[in-house]
Structure 1
Amino acid sequence: MKRKLTYDSDENESGNIEECTQGLEYDNKFFEPVHFLRCHSKANDPADVKTQVWQCAFEPDMNSPGHTTNLLATCGGNSVCLVDAVTGKVSKKFYPEEASILLFSLAWTTLHPGRGRKCNILAVGGSKCYLQLILPTKNCSLLSPPQFLSPPSKNKAKDLISCLVFHPTMHGVLFCGGSSSSIAAWDISQCHPWSDSSEPKLPELLMSITAHSEVFSLSFSKTSNVLLAGCNSGLFGWSMNEVKWEKNVAPHQRKPKGIEFILPEVSEGNGETDDDETLVDSVVCIPGSSLVATKCALRGLIYLWNLAATIENMQVKSNKISESRKVKLSVTPVKCLRWSDTDDYFMAMGCSPDGQLLGCGDDEGGVWLYNIGRNVVEHKAKRVKRDADQPSMTEPHQRLLWPSTLADPEVQNARKVKRLEGHGGVIDHVTVGITQSGAIHLASVTSTNLVCIWKAFDDEEMVSGDKMLK
């Protein structure tokens, strides 16, 4: 009898998301800055503006799928911070076992160890292919020793893990991507204190996928069962429909079907296409739908497209399609969302857990917000010319500008004002959390060592006042 990997399928998850969606109206919400923290400083320097904070994510609510708690995880420099979004206080802080390790990526999952137990695990990745699992409720790291995952290139000392994502139903399956031009899937389902084994459980390799170029962003579509990767050479995907997850199957026998997604071309004035504009630095599968948001470098826009409609005619059973020989599918955007004309890279998008609000930062400390749930709902894609003509743009429904009244006395005393140039620097990542009570917080992290927390208010609840960095 074949044994499958341990995973949990939340039957009520989609229903909870839909219920959450129906109760929110983002057109009537306005965000106010409530907490700005400099909590990843090197040597606890309160004026450190050089440490980059790369990613942030709200903890999922174990008892209410589709919602989050107020606990925000952030990673940057050589530390992970857990921040209470309500109080603005850092409740816990974790450091790698080696001081030289820099952290770039994180992801949450909820495991069910048995006997009715539930626990949230935070995975963190960084330089030298470092991976650690954190159990916040016990204030401990779970991997002893920590794992340095060896990529196929075997250049572990130089490679790094820049993106992580958990499988949406097999909650113990973790996908890791980075500079090694490969993606590895690991089973961490037994890496918890309640494991039956007397020895510490370590991650087990399930699958290795060749991405052909550096991987910057990962996202998994629950509705289509496809893993998406934003890479240096474009957007790629792997259909998991035919993957055999049984425990007695060797990693090299798990071969997902590969897809290369051809995005609309953008030509220069001379008619040639800029190679840099094929770089996809952020991809997000919109929760509860088949929509995908994709951001290419240097294009000044975000593509919103329907994954299910794009792959519906793909002959996944063809012998010509494999993990290494990909089928090519053209992407037709449903919407083109106007974004910054910056020439900076690696500003990652984030979406609310109800799939309604998409956010992306820019290089001036601002956050662009798009209410994608009101007018874009699973309809047929409109054809967009794939040539030099600029497609029509959808404007952001709201832009959060860097607070002009933000006081930063430590930086001013250290005479580092010129470096900040009047704003918070590049927004590296944006995330949105919604609690079961309906409270909405937006968080962003910056290249200048800042964690920024905004709270949504109704129009009549708006507050104002000077803010000070903590």
Structure 2
Amino acid sequence: MSRGGKAPVRPCSILAAGGKRGLVKLIHPRNNVAYGEFRASRKALSVLCFNHNQGNFFFTGSYDNKIIMWDIGGVDSSYNFKVVQLLVLEVSSTPLHICLPPTSPGSHLLTASDDGLHCFNTQLGTSSSTKSRSNEMEITFPIYEEEDKEHDYHTIDGLSFLTDDIIASKSHMHCSIYLWSWSRTRSQRPNKESRSVCAVVLAELQWASTNIPYLALNTCPGRAYIACGDDKGRIWTYHITNLPKNSFQIGKPIPPTQVLEWPSPTRKGLDQTEGPSINSVAMDPELRYLVALSDKNMVIVWRREESS
């Protein structure tokens, strides 16, 4: 994003927020100004995502099973801006997560949903360019073969890139996190009928056994770190070292590096708070802090201490 006007154009950071009303608020955090809004959908919004290489490209996912790509342009010194709709991606169910490959954020988009993981072509200005597009292919996982009437593993409720090529993802009801290669998966020829390919899995990470859905994982690529909460207030952490050099075998999950136990805070006159479900986690690029958001309106902040 950039600011202009009479002064020279200079980059600026923009924050976007959206929710039940289908509106996106645009915020200039440095000046603490919510300078505008636009309607992204008539349904509630489920996910927002900026293109990290081109900050004016912005994606919204909503409960009408659509992902829309926008050009929100720049903003001048008077906070004037213009929003243009570029693409509509048709998803089979509500998008839960959006990921753009670090090496090709302008050409592909991965979206996780209750109906699996799907890849879209988002490249603009091509001969096949249309305003509305369906998924290019579905990415499936080995755990799908174990589905039955009581176990449906198609809900992908965690998705994040660990490196330029390695993706961490997890399925609801599967007590493991998959690490898989984007490039090797992408290079496969999709099945003609189902337009699907199986993820090239590099490793499985041991995670909690729970039936609670939508407990999202996150990654800290600069520190090769993965974190994911569970339904008991714990944070499962994994330090993935030398992954490209090692040859991991599928079958026996790798245990976590450390599990951060629920701190059991107390309130005056009340008993200890039981461990809640950790819906999402976030880390700064240097992994100095880890922040967890729970389903009991509590935010837990962890600070990393260097070992002596």
CA–CA separation in structure 1 for the residues paired with 2:245 and 2:48: 27
- Distance change in 2, residues 1:255/1:267 (3 Å): closer
- Which of residues 279, 283, 291 is equivalent to 1:428? 279
CA distance in 2, matches of 1:164, 1:355: 24
The CA distance in 2 between the partners of 1:168 and 1:326, in whole Å, is 31
Corresponding residue of 1:243: 124
1:194 deviates by: 3.1
Relative contact order higher in (CA < 8 Å, ≥ 6 apart): 1
Equivalent-residue separation in structure 2 for 1:236 and 1:274 (angstroms): 23
Distance 1:254 1:243, change over 3 A: farther
1:458 deviates by 1.7
Which position in structure 1 is the counterpart of 2:97? 217
Following TM superposition, by how much is the alpha carbon of 1:403 offset from its aligned partner in structure 2, in angstroms? 1.2
Q: Is the 8 A contact 1:181 1:210 kept in 2?
A: yes
Measure how far apart 1:128 and its partner are.
Answer: 2.2
> Could you say what secondary structure the match of 1:206 adopts?
strand
Quick check: 1:163 aligned with 2:38? no
Q: Does the Cα contact within 8 Å between 1:224 and 1:290 map onto a contact in 2?
A: no
Paired letter, 1:176: T
Distance in structure 1 (CA, Å) of the matches to 2:245 and 2:84: 37
Q: 1:178 to 1:302 in 2, by over 3 A?
A: farther
Residue 148 of structure 1 aligns with which residue? Answer: 39
Q: 1:233 pairs with 101, 106, 115, which one?
A: 115
* Coordinate RMSD, CA, aligned: 2.9
The Cα of 1:208 is off from its aligned counterpart by 0.4
Percent identity, aligned pairs only, is 23
Change (3 A) 1:289 1:381: farther
Q: Distance in 1 between matches of 2:55 and 2:246?
A: 30
Determine whether 1:112 maps to 2:7: no
**Would the aligned equivalents of 2:72 and 2:82 in 1 still touch at CA under 8 Å?**
yes
Q: What do the CA deviations read for 1:97-136 (whole angstroms, capped 9, x no partner)?
A: xxxxxxxxxxxxxx23363522111111200212111111
Separation in 1, partners of 2:206, 2:225: 15
- 1:348 is displaced (CA, Å) by 1.2
Q: Distance in 2 between matches of 1:361 and 1:348?
A: 7
Answer yes or no: is 1:376 the counterpart of 2:243: yes
The structure where helix makes up a greater share of residues is: 1
**Alignment partners' CA distance in 2, 1:187 and 1:408:** 47
Alignment partner of 1:278 is 2:145: no
Task: Look up the SS of the partner of 2:185 in the other structure.
Answer: helix
CA contact (8 A) 1:257 1:326 kept: no
Pairwise CA distance, 1:428: 0.9
How far 1:395 sits from its partner (Å)?
Answer: 0.8
Give how far 1:161 is off. Answer: 1.1
Q: 1:452 to 1:172 in 2, by over 3 A?
A: same
The answer on whether the counterparts of 1:265 and 1:273 sit within 8 Å (CA) in structure 2 is: no
Per the normalisation by structure 2, the TM-score is 0.87
Q: Equivalences for 1:300-319 in 2 at 5 Å?
A: 300-314=175-189
* C-alpha deviation, 1:380, in angstroms: 7.3
Of 166, 177, 183, which residue of structure 2 is paired with 1:291? 166
1:289 CA drift (Å):
1.9
Aligned to 2:267: 408
- Runs of 5+ consecutive residues of structure 2 not aligned to the other structure: none
Contact 1:243–1:256 (Cα < 8 Å) also in 2: no
Q: Distance in 2 between matches of 1:254 and 1:314?
A: 23
Indicate the structure (1 or 2) with the bigger Cα radius of gyration.
Answer: 1
Which amino acid is 1:168 matched to?
H
User: CA–CA distance in 2 between the matches of 1:267 and 1:343?
Assistant: 18
The whole-number CA distance in structure 2 between the counterparts of 1:259 and 1:311 is 9
User: How high is the TM-score relative to the length of structure 1?
Assistant: 0.59
Query: For structure 1, which runs of at least 5 residues remain unmatched after alignment?
Result: 1-110, 151-155, 385-390, 461-470
Secondary structure at the residue paired with 1:347?
coil
Maintained 8 Å contact 1:258/1:326: no
User: Following the alignment from structure 1 to structure 2, what is the Cα–Cα distance between the partners of residues 237 and 381?
Assistant: 25
For these two proteins, the number of residue pairs brought into alignment is 303
Q: Distance in 2 between matches of 1:356 and 1:283?
A: 15
**Residue 355 of structure 1: CA displacement?**
5.3
